[in-house]
Copies of this chain bind each other. A is one copy, B any other.
Amino acid sequence: MLGEFEYALITAAAGLGDKAYGAAIREEIEAATLRKCSIGALYTTIERLEKKGLLKTWMGEATPQRGGRAKRMVLVTEAGELAAKNFYDAVMRVSLNARWAMEKGESLL
């Protein structure tokens, strides 16, 4: 099963589409999470997810701008999307009947 950070990373990458690369993903995560995302967490996790086949990555070209170093581009694979969906569904299922999950009077059936 995915961990919470892994889930956040996949979701961020998926949202960025073809603009997904390390640093951008990091910003996404911080925005969505409201917490710092350390460099170590980022690249270590990217590597692990790639090893599991949930991401595919490759080095892009360096861009012609100050500091424009080559980027590690990231693509979420089918397996990656599926894993994310499973994580999400699992949390939803567990949260049925949880007080903190019931807002707006939804009965969640």
Q: Could you say how many copies of this chain the assembly holds?
A: 2
Question: A94 near B11 (CB under 8 angstroms)?
Answer: yes
Question: B4 near A91 (CB under 8 angstroms)?
Answer: yes
A3 at the B interface (CB under 8 A): yes
Q: Complex Cα distance A96/B101, Å?
A: 15
Within 8 A of B (CB), among A83-98: 84-85, 87-91, 93-98
21 contacts between A and B (CB under 8 A): A1-B4, A3-B3, A3-B4, A4-B4, A4-B91, A7-B91, A11-B95, A12-B94, A14-B98, A15-B97, A15-B98, A32-B93, A32-B94, A33-B93, A33-B94, A34-B93, A84-B98, A84-B100, A85-B100, A88-B98, A89-B100
